[in-house]
Amino acid sequence: MGDSPYLFEVSWEVANKVGGIYTVLESKSALVKEEYGDNYFLIGPYLPGKSESQFIERPMPSFLIKAQKDLAPEGIEFHFGTWLLESEPQVILVDFGREFNNLDAFKASLWDRYGVDSLFCGYDFDEPVAFSLAVGKLIESIKRIGLRKENLIVHAHEWLTGGVILYLDSTDLEFSTVFTTHATFLGRCLASAGINFYAEIDSINADEKAREIGITAKHILEKATALHADALTTVSGITGREAEVFYGRKPDVILPNGLNMAMFPTVQDITYMHREYRKYLRKFAQYYFFPYYSFDIEKTLFYFILGRYEMRCKGIDLFIDALAELNQKLKSKESDKTIVAMFCIPAGNSGVKSQLIEGKSLYQSISQAVNYSLDDVYDRIRRAYVGEHEFDIEWILGKEFLDKAGQDQRRFKQRGNPPLSTHELLNEQHDEILNMFKEKGLVNNEDDRVKVVFYPTYLSGVDGLLNLQFYNAMAGSHFGVFPSFYEPWGYTPLEAGALGVASVTTDLSGYGLALKELGLKKKLPGTYVIDRSNFDYEREKKDLLSILYEYTLLDSDERMELRLNANAQAKNFDWKILIKHYFKAHKLALSKSKVCAA
């Protein structure tokens, strides 16, 4: 870029994992840092008790020291350091708590200048706006007293930081601004309500519709930011279409989401990782289901869905419907396969169910007893082989071991059916996922070929049950199911592909559309893309059922081919290929802003 300007990238998810934007920021940070060097700063919220584990505090550069002194009388405090990532990008975490005292005046100015009516908004609006106000004041101070002659690019993500751009727009200083909407707030709300708005998008009056469903403040804030940023960007063409209709402005640049593929396994490692982490899933299935009944674990396939608890948007409802029909089909075909469908979707809970804790403990005790006896068992097998003794099961295993095994077996067994959820849900009686399981007959009966597990907590690696990080859980699984109805991009099928895991997504996701543009293999595409843009739910269910069933018929070589194809598709979305779009947006903002217009 020649004389590199300063880039301040602002997001609620800087050093604060909430959703997919965190992945965007952390995975591209190395390449952005390579481009801008020490002139690149990420700005996020300072959250006491959480932020400390995400970054290391460092001495501030001189311009931040000046801003710190300048803002001290206003009570605005911030912390400077490096994010705990391999790329170690510089971060500024802003403590915005005191800005709630100035919120009414800022909200009044948003109304006067941009028509943002926030009179009856709650904390979910006020919190990000208070954060935006504090960040706006910080960047204003940096420009006014620290970097007066330098060009500053401010890149804000989502409506939650839109207030930063609007605040800076009201100053007499010169900034180049980029706004990225990863999903229009109106679009997400309409989709969550089950409205097929894509079918009638050209006739929608966005402001009126936002008023109808009670999201006027967030929508107008987002729209005002889109209209006043020097460069408007979205993450996919499908979201760009929403922006054009809802904001009245086409995006200037599309910023497809990518991954740092160097951080993912090589083709040679894919098979090893699958086999290694599949062991964990098989053990989980044994202590989850086997106290009640058993099935052939070597003929068991693990399907999974990951994401936010959004029944409609994430296609959770479609997945459950398709699984119910898959269950009946496998039973009618007298299939010997078992499907364990994992719904890894965080929800309010009070901890792991006590019977699972007990079952896992007994399973571990049994495993320890087996491991303890292995040397003696191996020795007696060798002795039998050379003729010292008959191949007698009681002699080989030992009477003491058999007696203890019988006792442990009796303690391990439980009555009834395996639970539908791993955890005690806070509102179990009214939980949508559990109720739909029951409605569709997915209740984990012994004769069911499809078993369901609702795992309502983050796969952190230390959750107390499976204890696998979500990438490792994905790598150990066979097939990811992401049949989203509303998905501006869709990281999970891309991440699955990067891990060499086959999956299915839809043409209502940015990633699905991008794959269709690249061209899909007719057979074994790796990542399947089903059509949801015609809004025919029965057809969608039939298409998904067909893919799920056909996967059960594949042999191991075909499943391996799927893995490799999914991985090859994902490699098209390496940040090394896609980061140029970000730099294009930054250059465009510089050319369109007051900086270059003067």
Each residue of 230-274: pLDDT tens digit? 999 999 999 999 999 999 999 999 999 999 999 999 988 999 999
CA distance 487 to 530: 13
Class of domain 6-260+577-597: alpha beta
Per the CB < 8 A criterion, the answer to whether 25 and 9 are in contact is: yes
The string of pLDDT tens digits covering residues 9-59 is 999 999 999 888 999 999 999 999 999 999 999 999 999 999 999 999 999
Asked whether the predicted pLDDT for residue 157 surpasses 50, the reply is: yes
Asked whether the predicted pLDDT for residue 313 surpasses 90, the reply is: yes
Domain boundaries, the chain: 6-260+577-597, 261-351+419-573, 354-417
Average pLDDT for 185-201 = 91
The string of pLDDT tens digits covering residues 503-560 is 999 999 999 999 999 887 778 899 999 999 988 999 999 999 999 999 999 999 999 9
CA distance 105 to 401: 76
Query: Could you tell me which residues come within 8 angstroms of residue 272 by beta carbon, excluding any fewer than 6 positions away?
Result: none
How does residue 1 score in pLDDT terms, banded at 50, 70 and 90?
very low
Q: Would the CATH topology of 6-260+577-597 be identical to that of 261-351+419-573?
A: yes
In sequence order, what are the beta bridge partners of 71? none
Nearest CA to 151 out of 63, 39, 42, 69 is that of: 39
What interhelical angle do 237-247 and 185-192 show, nearest 10? 100
Query: Could you tell me which residues come within 8 angstroms of residue 126 by beta carbon, excluding any fewer than 6 positions away?
Result: 100, 103
Nearest CA to 324 out of 161, 129, 544 is that of: 544
Between 19-23, 55-59, 62-66, 223-227, the lowest mean confidence (pLDDT) is in 19-23
> For residue 595, what pLDDT is reported?
52
Average pLDDT for 469-487 = 96
> For residue 598, what pLDDT is reported?
39
Q: What angle do CA 394, 397, 400 make, to 5 degrees?
A: 85
Which sign does the torsion angle of CA 384, 388, 389, 393 carry? Answer: negative
Asked whether the predicted pLDDT for residue 427 surpasses 50, the reply is: yes
Query: Could you tell me which residues come within 8 angstroms of residue 343 by beta carbon, excluding any fewer than 6 positions away?
Result: 304, 305, 316, 319, 433, 452, 453, 454, 455
CATH superfamily of 261-351+419-573: Glycogen Phosphorylase B; (3.40.50.2000)
Per the CB < 8 A criterion, the answer to whether 348 and 459 are in contact is: no
DSSP 561-577: HHHHHHHHHHGGGBHHH
How does residue 578 score in pLDDT terms, banded at 50, 70 and 90?
very high
How does residue 597 score in pLDDT terms, banded at 50, 70 and 90?
very low
Q: Please report, for the chain, how many H helices and E strands are present, in that order.
A: 22, 17
What is the residue whose two structure tokens read 């081919």? 561
Asked whether the predicted pLDDT for residue 178 surpasses 90, the reply is: yes
How does residue 400 score in pLDDT terms, banded at 50, 70 and 90?
confident
Per the CB < 8 A criterion, the answer to whether 210 and 186 are in contact is: yes
> What is the average pLDDT value for the chain, to the nearest integer?
94
> Is 104 buried (19+), middle (13-18) or exposed (0-12) by CB count in 10 A?
exposed
In sequence order, what are the beta bridge partners of 45? 94
How does residue 2 score in pLDDT terms, banded at 50, 70 and 90?
very low
